[in-house]
Structure 1
Amino acid sequence: MVLPFFGKKPAPAGSPAPRSRSGSGAVGASPAAARSRPVPRSETSTLDFTIAGGDLNRVLAQCADKVHVEEGVDEMAPPAEEAAILYANGGDDEARMVLEHALQTTVDDTTRFNLWSMLLDLLRLVGQRERFESLSLGFATEFERSPPAWQDLSANAARAGVEPKVQTINLSGHLGGQAAAQFAQLIQIGMRAGALRIDLSRLRSADNAGGDLLLRAVRGLRRAKIKLHLSGAAHLANVLAGLVTSGKRSDQTLWLLLLEVLQYTDQQERFEELAVDYAMTFEESPPSWEPPPAITASQTGAEAVDAALSRIYLLEGEIIGPNTEVLRKITAFAADRTKVEIDCSRLRRMDFVSAGTLFNIISQLHTQGRLVVLTGVNSMVAALMQVMGLHQVARIELRG
């Protein structure tokens, strides 16, 4: 689901956070609201905020001629802005009160749906299952559709469900046929653990016998549904590319290994070109493009910058305070990509300063002509991103 494009301009740096105010959508209370006593709304404090590296409005102005804005779309409802900022600042209960009160006084269908989505996501983020299930019935009745499924997205649940680290196997030097015993052990490790990381970045050459061992191992683990991460896949692809020649019917195993390894990178266009060359050279159908499921950075134990060797950059947990190094590494990850996909499905919270840093980074990528897609964003963080104007320089897709 792509985040609605509200066209809301963010506040200038250093301006006060939005306060609660009555909008045109809040015409009157519903019958249910009339029976409920409104919950007092909390006033947000004034935030002294400046984006690292420059003024937000100046950067937005630079990007304005490169951004497509949908016409006729309403601004974000003020209570949604207020709740997003309260949540970003750690005010879980205050954000919930604002959303619940807004639902008692707002009648516009689109606004109500967005407020409901934020409230239900908030309850999942703080782990309040009973309240979530109680309110889900009201959502289903009002919109005649199934509410989002319960998921405990709280910090406690995340700590309890930490994925086990995956063992890394390092390959180096020349990839030859003498390593058969080691590859048999490699396969056993992967089968036993259910996941495996193979570091290929130190391989310098390969022959058909060694290529056959690695190809059989990778294909066998894939068929067994073992999660496999090939770190340094792009490096090995470059090594193999120097060993095969289009039109020369030799080293077929190395051709097939090259096609396999490329599927662990984001170089689909290069894969497709090579597949055509393979078909013409060997007069047979090449393998199809089937990227495998990726192991997360938290499982591999690798730092986020190492994710530049995979297809998706991962943001997770809570990104708050001055430590924004994980955000700054996005620039390195995006260096050789025209489409930059950032997985936010495990991102619970982001504060105002971090959101500003993220905007600054993504706006620079946008001016370079790169498409940035933020996937799996929860509704509370997505609303903050809209307040900051991130929807003007990136595509934001909400989590289900």
Structure 2
Amino acid sequence: MTTVLKSVTIVDPKSAYHLQCVDIHLHGGVIGAIGENLPLPQEAQVIELPHANVSPGWFDTSVVLGEPGYEAAETITNGLKTAASSGFTEIMVQPLTLPVADNAAVLHLLHQKASGQATAIHPIGALTMGSAGQALAELYDMQQAGAVAFGDYKKGMKNANLFKIALQYVQDFNGRVLAYCEDDTLRGNGMVNEGITATRLGLKGIPSLAEELQVARNLFLLEYTGGALHIPTLSSAKSVALVREAKARGLNVTCSVAVAHLVLTDAVLENFDTRYKLSPPLRTAHDREALWEGLHDNTIDCITTDHHPVDIEYKKVEFDLAQEGSIGLESAWGTLAAVLPMELIVEKLTAGREILGLPPAVIAPGAAVNLTLFTTEGTGTFTTDQIHSTSKNAALLGLPTRGKVLGIARDKHIIVN
């Protein structure tokens, strides 16, 4: 049966139909006709949503699903349903599992569990065994099992020589290394951004230097070895400047920023709410402005939700004992649309495929169905009733929103919220 997306505005600068209001026919997982007021096929399912926009399916470069090992925080099935209702047709899954996803067997399990879901997964293999930073994991075997990149979630690599070897080794099979940047010795026992807010509240600070020093080191190593490097969740103005300079020198480096760092600053810490304990920490308004600028000039390649469900027992404790992390899928579109232009958000939520060399999501007749439906109409607030994740720990609760996600279509799956 043919499904017709009726009177939708295409948001895709790479499409010949960019910003045109058209009908789109979907049949058997393929886009059929695209045009204005197309005749309806017999027995067609018509989906007509007010003020609907359609873009290439959104792609999230950093999602923790918990399973296997941390099912109390999130399961693969519910996590993928949450991603679908949040507008994401594909997600990269972090190796924060138990056992750690550092071998092909765990990746096969992830693919098996995710089979048949509307949202597809792309596993990230751990860069080191057990994500312990001591020895490289089975990178090539994991690449053959479907790993799209390699990194240790929220762990900076202390051993510069091991990191150098990793950058060299993955070039044999066009792999990409993910390098979370934070120097543990500079971080120390810090919990929040080092600055005026931390000092006033009496909380131990993490200097932005902890991030910047490792960004600089990793970029020097990349220049030495060649290869491809992705730096996730930049948070400081100086880090953005360092990546901008590296790109100007021709280095193959990409980077992302988390939604929370685009819409919040460390000023929200005044009430010691552990929802705001994140990694990297929320930084200053100056840093946030630099992140916005980095998006506009393409220094920052993509936006991630950095979705990390955390059990309530690890959040409802004293601030210094609380675990870092927050869910982010459900709140991504609405909170971003409240502060950034629509076309920029769509560009940055779909750029991950190009970074990884994956097939693009194309809006054209004959292309595979991979679409996100959304609107920019209406304003509101992100509230608990919008949370579908098992974990309810959300840093962006109470923030103003604009528009909403209407659904997704990928392959033969069509989900309308």
Report the TM-score range of the alignment, normalised by the length of the smaller protein. 0.3 to 0.5
Q: Please give the TM-score of this superposition, normalised by the length of structure 1.
A: 0.33
Which protein has the bigger helix share?
1
Which protein has the bigger strand share?
2
